[in-house]
Amino acid sequence: MMNRVNYKRTQAGGFLLEALIGVLIFSFGILGIVGLQAQSLRHTGDAEYRAEATYLANSLISKMWTDDPAVLSTKYDSTLVTPGAGYVAFAADAATLPGVVVATTTNLPAVLVDPAAPAPQTPSLQGHVVQITVFWQLPGDTTVHNYTTTGVVGSNGT
């Protein structure tokens, strides 16, 4: 009978220790899930802004297709000393993205318009190569993200 009493005394608190370890493991699991949820929300926000930047860039190319090809550079090119009305309107639209501030020229989009050389197989092709880069910066993030697209805007010259 004496062995049984000693055995119970040596086991005292063993169940409590196991329960505490179980709670600790459960807590680490919950913290991991919360961290994954936070990353998921961050990536969802970034995807939202990337989609908005894509929409803005494609929208600008669509507007360029409706304009006279002879004035594309003066109206939309951001490298000019005084950018045209088309670029100013585009920069104002891009200011809906976080981190883009028109007043301080922070993270403004870049629009480059270069005359394209006619392709050898289609010498009558008249067009401009347009490169658009849209920037944004997530709140609290030091990284500036960007979306760049390139297209050819012009006419077939017939």
Taking only the tens place, the pLDDT of each residue in 18-45 is: 899 999 999 999 999 999 998 898 888 8
Taking only the tens place, the pLDDT of each residue in 52-96 is: 999 999 999 999 988 888 888 899 999 888 989 999 999 999 999
CA distance 155 to 158: 8
Mean pLDDT calculated for residue range 113-121:
63
Tally Cβ neighbours within 10 Å of residue 50: 16
- For residue 100, pLDDT beyond 80: yes
Mean pLDDT calculated for residue range 107-136:
77
CA distance 31 to 93: 39
CA pseudo-torsion sign 79, 81, 85, 91: positive
Domain boundaries, the chain: 2-155
Mean pLDDT calculated for residue range 137-157:
84
Here the tokens at position 138 are 């997530």
pTM comes to: 0.72
